[in-house]
Amino acid sequence: MTSSDLTTRPLDGRVALVTGSSRGIGAATAIQLARDGAHVILTGRDVKALESIEDAIHDAGGQSTIAPMDLTESDSIARLAAAIAGRWDKLDILVISAAYLPTLTPVTQIEPKQFNQAITTNILATQVLLTAFDPLLKRSGHGRVIGLTSSVGSKPRPFWSAYGATKAAFESLLDSYAQEVEKIGGVRVAIVDPGATRTTMRAKAYPGEDPKTVKEAHVVAEKISALLLEDFPTSHRLRVD
């Protein structure tokens, strides 16, 4: 590998896991991290979509592995952690991008099944991910956890309570974990608010919005990849406008 290769592939040799990497910001982040040299593990429930992202990565000369899974099934996370430990014995980067958006509604009309789905996906799965991959992140020596949040997690908004409440808990979990491991194993945590971004979730929340008026997902992905190269303090916050 030439010196120019090292310059253009700053994440070479690192192993990254991106949840929700079949579409949107997760997919764009997976592609960007692979472009920057990381071997990216792609997770999601849509196998065909994951295969499409993997094809894009391989066509660009990157490396990736598909791991279809449902984050709401905690056993699947444990199995993935065991598989990664058996192949690499470490995890350098964990990007938690997968999330579930319930129907926007007043607090008094929250649909219980959807709220439970949001709690399971956005909160419970996050705790299981941190538990399962904590040992592998510590073995990295420079493990990084990036959590994708939303402004409604810290600034409540009418009709967004079901999603906002789960993102508030999501941030609390990550901040607590960040403080707990701050001096152990070199693991650092950052929480990224992508802002208005052209995704399927955004279209669901704002059906009348012209998607061309908001930035594309690759803009957020580039910011995340750049952040991973910085010596940021744990519990770091980044807003992508």
Q: Which amino acid is present at 139?
A: R
**If you write DSSP's letter for every residue of the chain in order, what string do you get?**
--HHHHHH-TTTT-EEEETTTTSHHHHHHHHHHHHTT-EEEEEES-HHHHHHHHHHHHHTT-EEEEEE--TTSHHHHHHHHHHHHHHTS--SEEEE-----PPP--GGG--HHHHHHHHIIIIIHHHHHHHHHHHHHHHHSS-EEEEE--GGGTS--TT-HHHHHHHHHHHHHHHHHHHHHTTSTT-EEEEEE--SB-SHHHHHH-TTS-GGGSB-HHHHHHHHHHHHTS-PPTTEEEE--
CB-based contacts of 96: which residues, under 8 Å, 6+ apart?
A: 19, 126, 129, 145, 146, 147, 148, 174
Q: How far apart are CA 37 and CA 128, in angstroms?
A: 27
Q: Which tokens belong to 199?
A: 């995704």
- As annotated, the active-site residues are 163
